[in-house]
Structure 1
Amino acid sequence: MRRAFVVPAALALSLAACGSSKDEYVAYCPEPFTVQDAERLTHFKDGPGRDPRDIAYEAVLTDARSGCKASRRGIDVTLVMRISAVAGPSVSPGTTRVPYFVRVLDASGAVVQGQDFAADFRLSGGSPRGASREELSLFLPHGGNYRIAVGLKPTPEELNYNRRSTGR
């Protein structure tokens, strides 16, 4: 699935004004990093149960990479993420949506752009495994020292479960 988002125009204009010619910038390609506690997600069926029989699916962000092309305007970044999912005993029929996020951070760690997405899977007892390749396009103006944060997006309850199950 291919998606695109752009750093806000005001930021782009202010950062573009920092350089006076195309020869003064050095192109770089920010590598994505996975946010701690956001690389896996265990999702339970609706209701009070939280033992292994109540797991609807488990998902893992298995890889995230970037590729860049520099231009006079800035850097076009192609971000590719791979997400895998496994059906649990309580998987629902139909489409399983695994939420994930992408955040562009500036040098101070402030989020300058971010968006939430979902990877779709068709999981069932007969087809318990799935993999998705998510491709996104970003535009970053020259002059920033950007980092790209990625991860699955657990609910607070799922996050607590993940932390307990991994001993954090």
Structure 2
Amino acid sequence: MKKTLRTFAVLMGPLFVSACGGNFSTDLFGSDQAPLPCPNVTVLPGAENITIFREGPGRDLVDVTFEGVIEPIGGECVYEDDDALVVAELLLQVSVVKGPAANTETPTVPFFVAIADRDKKVLSKKVFDTTIQIPAGQKRGAVQEEMIQRIPILSGRTGADYAIVIGFQLSGEQLEYNRKTIR
């Protein structure tokens, strides 16, 4: 399944980008109406990376079990219910690298998907866990997650008035570590 999603993303990536904008109509009956815009997808600054340390007080590089990165790699949206609802499908990639203290080949990392309005007010947020299988003898692994978000659109607004925000669900300690080390 993950290989299928990867192939799908590579083959359909250009279509995803063009499905949410551009200068063509998606109406098969010849309407000249431009497609409505998709919500912006962004990674919350400071939450794009995660560093997981082994249990205990050590916080040196030798204590790192895994480091991870999350990023959006594709997506598309469609409007439903007379443009009162946008259904956004996004494809995320979560990658990890084993650190010196790694003790498993299948780390699980938490990430979130949130919806915010144009005033940056968070309308909804959900936390997910994903497990990454690192192939034997390798230091890196990745997984792709397909997420579907249903966003009610207020009258007079479009998907462009909303943002889909993703990132790792960090502990206070992890967030502080990111602020100190990642530039």
Relative to the length of structure 1, the TM-score reads 0.76
Tell me which residue corresponds to 2:55: 46
CA distance in 1, matches of 2:129, 2:102: 17
Is the Cα contact below 8 Å between 1:31 and 1:65 reproduced in 2?
A: no
Shift of 1:117: 0.8
Give the residue type in structure 1 aligned to 2:182.
Answer: T
Give the residue type in structure 2 aligned to 1:61.
Answer: I
Tell me which residue corresponds to 2:71: 62
Within-5 A mapping of 1:68-79? 68-72=77-81, 73-79=84-90
Give structure 2 stretches of 5+ with no counterpart: 6-34
Tell me which residue corresponds to 2:148: 137
Q: Which protein is richer in strand relative to its size?
A: 1
Percentage of identical aligned residues: 30
Give the residue type in structure 2 aligned to 1:28.
Answer: P
CA deviation digits over 1:79-122, x for unaligned, max 9? 11111100111112253111111110122222111100122113
CA distance in 1, matches of 2:86, 2:70: 25
Q: Which of 163, 166, 172 pairs up with 1:156? A: 172
Give structure 1 stretches of 5+ with no counterpart: 3-25
Give the residue type in structure 1 aligned to 2:46.
Answer: D
CA deviation digits over 1:61-91, x for unaligned, max 9? 1335431011225211101111110011111
Give the residue type in structure 2 aligned to 1:149.
Answer: V
Structure 1 outlier segments of 4+, above 4 Å: none
Q: Establish whether residue 93 from structure 1 lines up as the match of residue 93 from structure 2.
A: no
Alignment CA distance shift 1:101-1:35 (3 Å): same
CA distance in 1, matches of 2:182, 2:45: 12
Q: Establish whether residue 32 from structure 1 lines up as the match of residue 41 from structure 2.
A: yes
Q: Which has the higher contact order (CA 8 A, sep 6+)?
A: 1
Give the residue type in structure 2 aligned to 1:102.
Answer: V
Which shows bigger deviation, 91-100 or 119-128?
119-128
Is the Cα contact below 8 Å between 2:135 and 2:141 reproduced in 1?
A: no
Q: Establish whether residue 166 from structure 1 lines up as the match of residue 182 from structure 2.
A: yes
CA deviation digits over 1:25-59, x for unaligned, max 9? x7320121111101111110111111111100000
**Secondary structure of 2:87's match?**
strand
Relative to the length of structure 2, the TM-score reads 0.71
**Secondary structure of 2:104's match?**
coil
Count residues with an aligned counterpart.
Answer: 144
Is the Cα contact below 8 Å between 1:32 and 1:65 reproduced in 2?
A: no
Give the residue type in structure 2 aligned to 1:128.
Answer: K
